[in-house]
Amino acid sequence: MAVVLAACGIDEPITADSEGFWNSFFVYPMSFLIQFFSDLTGGHFGWGIVIVTILIRLLILPLALKSQKSSRAMQALRPEMQEIQERMKKAQGNPEKQREVQSEMIGMYQKHGVNPAAGCLPALVQIPIVMALYFAIMRTEAIGQGPESDFLWFNLGQMDPVLPFIAGITTFVQFKMSMSQMPANPLGEGMPNPMNIMLWIMPVMIIIAGLTLPSALALYWVIGNIFMIVQTYFIIVRPNLNKEDVEKDRA
């Protein structure tokens, strides 16, 4: 993707006249929205980024709800999944029996309308959004210049040493809340839990990126994480579902 974008004039200021699919449909619309909402809030780009972040989260909310609904269903099915995983463990060394148990696990997912990979969709959708936001910030000349770029204690166009750690902490909290409603280990006992690995890797990656990029991106992550924490609490953590509740959701 970096090679492709290298031909998109990423060093040139973004304007309505910028050519190319990436510029016309991703970077410029993001730049326009930030400046539009900044003007509505007194000319401060920080508030513009906050509003755009909330709008983005609302836009991908259907995907997030689908993902969290799948997580709730997996929570309700946890006892049955653990029983199947235990049989999978006992079937080690017997490929035919393992395939039989795996088929049973897949059948259980299909029966209850559960997609274990659904949680990846919101994250994948955000990749081009975050990249568009990054280039919009870097290529909008007004951002990072003048008092309009000062927000709270930091400048949006410069790296801030505090905000990335707030972004990392909120990422950890949001991920931990989501994990609390998922099976102990989707790969079965005795296997490395990929969710535990991601729980620690994601916040570290966010912190490292935040310490090398403009603080406007860290602000996007913080606001987005707070939005997700509130959403996760009301959609996943608060309800206490059982299998009957899952069937009602499907209906």
Around Cβ 130, how many Cβ atoms within 10 Å?
Answer: 15
**How far apart are alpha carbons 3 and 209 in whole angstroms?**
20
Residue holding tokens 């049955």?
80
**How far apart are alpha carbons 188 and 167 in whole angstroms?**
31
**How far apart are alpha carbons 246 and 251 in whole angstroms?**
9
For residue 154, give the 3-state DSSP assignment: strand
DSSP, residue by residue, 26-75: IIHHHHHHHHHHHHHTTS-HHHHHHHHHHHHHHHTHHHHHHHHHHHHHHH
Amino acid 131 reads M
- H or E element, residue 155: strand 154-155
Sequence-ordered list of residues with C-beta below 8 angstroms from that of 238, at least 6 positions apart, any chain: none
pLDDT of residue 153: 84
pLDDT tens digit at each of 251 positions of the chain: 443 444 444 567 777 777 788 888 888 888 899 889 988 888 788 898 899 889 988 887 787 777 766 666 666 677 777 777 777 776 676 677 767 777 777 777 767 666 665 556 666 777 788 788 878 877 877 776 666 677 888 888 788 889 999 999 998 888 877 766 555 555 455 555 556 677 788 888 889 988 888 888 888 889 988 988 888 777 666 665 444 455 555 55
